[in-house]
Amino acid sequence: MFERLRDFWQEARQLRDLGVLGMNERNLSFIGRHNPRSRFPLVDNKLQTKLLAKDYEIATPELLGVIRHQAEIAQFTRMTQGHQGFAIKPAKGSGGKGILVVCRSQGDRFQKASGEWITRHQVERHLSNLISGLYSLGGHPDVAIIESLIVSVSAFEDFTFEGVPDIRVVVYRGYPVMAMMRLSTHASDGKANLHQGAIGVGIDLNTGKAVRGVQFDRPVTHHPDTGKSLNALAIEDWPQLLALAARCYDMTRLGYIGVDLVLDASRGPLLLELNARPGLAIQLANACGLKPRLASIDNFCDQIKGPELGSQQRVEVACQYFK
Amino acid sequence: MKRYASSLTWTALVLVLLGVIHSWWRVEVHDVSLFPGSQYEYWDVEARVELQAHGQPVKVTLTLPQTQPGYVLQAEHTASPGYGVNIESDQGRRVIWTTRQAQGEQWLYYRVQFRVDPQRHPPPLGVVPAINEVRWSEPLSVAASQLLHQAWQASADTFSLANNLTHLLADANNQNAQMLLSEMSAAEAMVRLLNEAEIPARLLSGLRLEDGRRRQSLQPLVQVFATDHTWRLFSVSPAQGAPQDYLLWQQTAGPILEVEGGSDSRVSFSMLSTREPASSGGHASVARDALMNLSIHSLPIAEQAVFKTLLLLPVGALVVVFFRVLIGLRTSGTFMPVLIALAFLEMSWLPGLITFLLIVSIGLVLRQLLAYLNLLLVARVAVVIVCVIGLMAFMAVISFHAGINTGMQVTLFPMIILAWTIERMSILWEEEGPKEVMIQGAGSLITASAAFVVMDHMLIRYWLFNFPGMQLIVMAMILLVGSYTGYRLLELWRFRPLVTASSSRSDDV
């Protein structure tokens, strides 16, 4: 019994020495302290995030239209005219629920990302469910956002199964502190959610190259579906991505956020969504604790007198600190 | 950060100090012993008479209980503003309330405290009732004589005869018994049958003692006298429980409540079991300094009974905080485990657990069927509530016919809670898959069981009810756990790859 307790104690000590951030500390010392409750709607509602991002000139997937009422559903094709593919998303959804991705449309038939063809009636039914709140938190009525399709960069083709990989950057007081790429797998059903079985690959903040990968919180070296070695993963335009993530702080003034980005083949880095309660698995993907990094940003910020640094400078500082 | 921490520690310390001082005060000044051991068990019973007055003089007569085998009368008092009170004890004890004029709804209270004393010998009995000559109508007389014959055959003495009669009368398949019962109540039938067998017996009213019950009514009991002038009580149906659980409210036959000048009168009873030290004056002291002692113990018994359960909730909440913050178990609904634990307290653990699992799993299936109807959330939960109530009724019926007693208490399960559990679980099932449902369901049940174990503990129940200061100590503990920023137990397992990765890296060096 006491042996057991001592083991636990030692393990906790080791984790503390590594600077691993736990859930209690994240909630109390970071989310509670740096994220004012009144600003949560900015990130919990994707439509608000999108409109705000437009004001701050942060690129997001092109907004084709918004459907707010059941009566507007019949006209959804008017919004998607001229676009082969599009994505329908709930504004208040979470965890990738209720997202319908259409790759190709032919008259009244639509092809989903999985290759399955569905009818116009089925799309309208999905929209109707979405607006009545089937996918929103707490079942509140929602609005549907229709976005243009993101075309994945060809370099990532072998690293993902079905879905488009996204990049999560944790931004603390405006400074990017840690990043990972999330690759969908067969187990995650094409979704980039780590707890559903997507792979998280830690990304070096300086180089944009892979550190290591985890699936279900346990290390993996190869993508289970495509067999590609995860070490080979490298992201182009990395500094640009980081700058985009850092600018999201200016936009929301939330001190501790997870920024989800994608790389579009034609438009470059785009902001997908923001998260005011980013998960802790990023530490496992980077084999590194968050706490020392957060502490050094705190130290650095304490030294600055006068106005805050610009986003570009903040990225440079972060890259210097986290070599 | 430091400042937050220190002000929090001070708050917790002050709370603990206040709690300890108040508890010490209860021990020293109110003579409440720290441990329930060296104490007498008391039953506080409160009778409430309700009636409608019409502006005329009102006279209310309520029959009162007295010391009897097993129970010693300790103290009694009445509360009845505007009424004159007179307690008579010549022909059976009675309280008589009178007033010149009363209008509208009237409430009269009588409160009495009995000490449980199993060694107490029966007092000399009053007058043995005369045996009434029994006349049966033609069809009934055959049934009665057959019943009596059957009971007589299988009996040795007066009491075993009476005992046999109760069994026969409770037997739903006995046609003779059913025929008698179609004309009169079981208790009445029993008295008449005994009288026919030349055995003195009478119908009395007794109160079944169950801790924390409110708005109860009196039950009929049959008092049977043997030839050597000893007597025993019999309850007519076995489902009513053993006669020794009853407090006899009257010693001679007659009406319990008589009202002149009012209408719609009724009397209901609340009761509470307490333990107090032998030295304490018990009820008398509580009544004396009710004003000085602003504690829940000065409340009417009906309200105290509510608080006896309510005061347990904070510990349940502490257990939930402990499990979520220190261990990291996921539960469905933050404080739902406490409510589940409350239901366990009513039904005891295993039957509660089985009922919960059964209802939730059947509810989940029903909820899946509802999903096809595309309802809005509120309407969906409402439909689930209807289904849950239907399920409970079904289970109660099934378990009653199967002879399981606990099934009857299914109704005590908070059904709104169940409906929400089902709704949450099914959404979880759709969104995260069955694995997450299992994780959260198991987490909820483990937490609920732990909360049940703590809340069911005799000492904890005793302390929380008798020392309200303990609440402050519980609150201080919640504050301290709530500011814990260390790792959760399950996070040690989650982040283990980091530890092994770093140790293997240092091995390489």
* Residues of chain B scoring pLDDT < 50: 1, 279-292, 407, 506-509
CA distances from B410 to B195, B392, B396, B446 (A): 41, 6, 7, 20
Residue in the structure block whose two tokens are 């960069």: A153
Say what the pLDDT of residue A116 is.
Answer: 85
CA-nearest residue to A188 within chain B is B432
Percentage of chain A exceeding pLDDT 90: 37
CB contact under 8 Å between B497 and A196, yes or no, is no
DSSP A209: B
Q: Which SS3 state, helix, strand or coil, does residue B203 take?
A: strand
Q: Which SS3 state, helix, strand or coil, does residue B47 take?
A: strand
Number of domains in chain B: 1
Residue bearing the bigger pLDDT, B212 or A204: A204
DSSP B123: P
Say what the pLDDT of residue A257 is.
Answer: 94
Q: How far B111 CA lies from chain A's nearest CA (Å)?
A: 49
Give the pairing type, strands B201-208 and B219-225.
antiparallel
DSSP A213: E
Decide if pLDDT at A294 tops 80: yes
Per-residue pLDDT reduced to its tens digit, A160-174 = 887 788 899 999 999
CA-nearest residue to B1 within chain A is A29
A:B CB pairs within 8 Å:
75
B122, part of any domain = no
Decide if pLDDT at A245 tops 90: yes
B301, part of any domain = no
Q: How far B433 CA lies from chain A's nearest CA (Å)?
A: 9
* Cα B334 from chain centroid (whole Å): 26
CB contact under 8 Å between A20 and B496, yes or no, is no
* Signed CA dihedral, A272, A273, A275, A279: sign only: negative
Say what the pLDDT of residue B120 is.
Answer: 64
Q: Are B332 and B420 in contact (CB under 8 A)?
A: no
Residue bearing the bigger pLDDT, A78 or B477: B477
pTM of the model: 0.70
Say what the pLDDT of residue B479 is.
Answer: 92
B94, part of any domain = no
B457, part of any domain = yes
Residue B363, domain extent: 310-493
Say what the pLDDT of residue A204 is.
Answer: 92
Per-range mean pLDDT, top range of A106-115, A127-136, A277-286, B414-423:
A277-286
Say what the pLDDT of residue B242 is.
Answer: 67
Domain boundaries, chain A: 21-43+154-321, 62-148
Burial of B25 (0-12, 13-18, 19+ CB in 10 A): middle
B402, part of any domain = yes
Average pLDDT over residues A206-229: 88
CB proximity B375 to A under 8 Å: no
Say what the pLDDT of residue B403 is.
Answer: 64
CATH 3.20.20.60 assigned to domain A21-43+154-321? The reply is no
B425, part of any domain = yes
| CA angle, residues B208, B210, B216, in degrees to nearest 5 | 60
CB proximity B432 to A under 8 Å: yes
Q: How far A135 CA lies from chain B's nearest CA (Å)?
A: 9
User: Rounded to a whole number, what is the distance in angstroms from the first to the last CA of chain A?
Assistant: 42
CB contact under 8 Å between B499 and A15, yes or no, is yes
Q: How far B329 CA lies from chain A's nearest CA (Å)?
A: 12
B342, part of any domain = yes
Say what the pLDDT of residue B126 is.
Answer: 60
CB contact under 8 Å between A218 and B497, yes or no, is yes
Say what the pLDDT of residue B196 is.
Answer: 83
Say what the pLDDT of residue B288 is.
Answer: 45
Q: Are B115 and B40 in contact (CB under 8 A)?
A: yes
Residue bearing the bigger pLDDT, A52 or B145: A52
CA distances from B246 to B234, B249, B477 (A): 10, 9, 42
Say what the pLDDT of residue B276 is.
Answer: 65
- Complex ipTM above 0.85? no
Helix axes B470-482, B313-321, angle to 10 degrees: 20
Instruction: Calculate the average pLDDT of chain A.
Output: 88
* Signed CA dihedral, A204, A207, A208, A214: sign only: negative
